[in-house]
Chains A and B, each alone.
Chain A
């Protein structure tokens, strides 16, 4: 087992544990921090695939900006521990089996897809698809994908305006 494989397994475990803790934690701040853990592990996985720029942006934007705002709001509202209500029966009897089914299906198809192809998990195929350098990435982003890119920014602007309208409305 090489170092990359060890890092991959460690980060995957960290991401899964973080995702579980996000749902199971009762304290909102703990949930937010678990999500940060998930994002950082994902960033390390990107780094492992050779996409350093995307890894850095992942941390900078999601963990460094968005989640900080989340934590800030949680602290500002001084939100206490969550109160557990009775879980809905539909979620219990339909949702749980369905979730497990999808998990198994995903595991099966991934295993089927990559079985016997060594190095797939450490960026053999995925690494080739992702533009490695920042230059290539920005070229793609500002020529081929310029319309979705600009539309996304307008979408975010609309969200900001919406928040402003809600905040400024006379009650």
Chain B
């Protein structure tokens, strides 16, 4: 108890970490479900359907399955690196999330001023890049330590790809930094408040449209997702760098990939899409009721859809979920809750849209060939981000004069 009173910052951080970990882990699990459902819809299939209503328990079943599979370490593998790699992948992917704020700096929860971020730093952006740049080692180590042909090829491809695209990724962000003049996420998002011509939100995506396109492309490559998923191209390399991994170690790579997707989407939201700022002018007061309205509509949809469903489990579970949604929606209309919920609501909505974009790209685009990948990265994306950088700095300097 003495420790608690002496280190209040530490205790608050621990509570935040616990909440964030729970939310992110659940989000990761259901992101896999979401991806399978959306890709199935794009390909005219049903996707997961039988484990729970509409396959809603599928992530849980997958998790239990991973836990009970045999954990194999190949005899020829380099033991330390082999075990270290998946831990490194997941730990680093989750650490980056600690730097991401999901709401404005001044917020009061239970009468206590709180920040909706685990760790606030004045150089948060560059720290985030630093931590995520270490993540390459997980993939490289996994490929090398397995002591097998396909993983080594996957690891090599991956390190080459990540080095190549990290240049474009970092350069595409510099444009935003030049405009914002700070590494601090609060300053970067704060600079995006206001309007152009009284209606257009002053988000960085409008002057930095080139940078946004470069960022999004490089980010997909950095997270090894389709159409840049060459490190684990199933048709060429079995499963690439994680071919030899089984059981929960494989699951950790899987979770790390999805956590990286979330991080990259959060970063895009903060840098280009105005973070937690609402797209509507502040004078439109009805927008404060949008989170509540969304939840209540979702609740009604769940109840009606569930009762009309074919599966018995759906008929039982969905109305209950719908009532929970209605309750939370009603809670969001309270004066104590409404201002707190605004920032996270818009932030999560934007991140969700970007995640949907990711899945959409996966369902639409075929994989690049390796030489195409390299020439696209170095001969198209890098010059484009450099042009964006030069143009932005020119405009910034001219406006300073």
Contacts and interface: CB of A to CB of B under 8 A. Distances in A.
Interface of A: 3, 27, 29-30, 33, 36, 40, 43, 52-53, 55-57, 59-60, 63-65, 68-69, 71-72, 75-76, 78, 133-134
Contact of B123 (A30, A36, A64, A134): A134
A69 B7 CA distance: 41
Contacts of B143: 75
Interface in B1-38: 7
Contact of A75 (B80, B121, B155): B155
A47 B236 CA distance: 43
B127 A76 contact: no
Nearest to B158: A72
Contacts of B46: none
Which of B78, B121, B134, B152 counts the most A-chain CB atoms under 10 A from its CB?
B134
Contacts of B116: none
B382 to A, nearest CB: 15
Contact of A71 (B126, B127, B140): B140
Given A29-B81, A60-B129, A72-B159, A134 B134 contact: no
Contacts of A75: 140, 143-144, 152, 155-156, 159
A3 B81 CA distance: 30
B238 interface: no
B130 A76 contact: no
A164 to B, nearest CB: 14
Contacts of A40: 134
Contacts of B123: 52-53, 56, 134
Contacts, number: 81
Query: Is the contact region of chain B dominated by helix, strand, or loop, or is it mixed?
Result: helix
B140 A52 contact: no
B221 to A, nearest CB: 15
B131 A59 contact: yes
B109 to A, nearest CB: 26
Interface residues of B, number: 29
B163 interface: yes
B136 interface: yes
B127 A52 contact: yes
Given A65-B163, A72-B156, A33 B137 contact: yes
B121 A64 contact: no
B87 interface: no
18 contacts: A3-B7, A27-B78, A29-B78, A30-B80, A33-B137, A52-B122, A55-B127, A56-B126, A59-B130, A60-B130, A60-B133, A65-B166, A68-B137, A71-B140, A75-B140, A75-B143, A133-B122, A134-B183
Nearest to B160: A72
A134 to B, nearest CB: 6
A33 B133 contact: no
Contacts of B141: 29, 33
Given A56-B127, A133-B122, A63 B159 contact: no
Contacts of A63: 130, 133-134
A67 B122 CA distance: 26
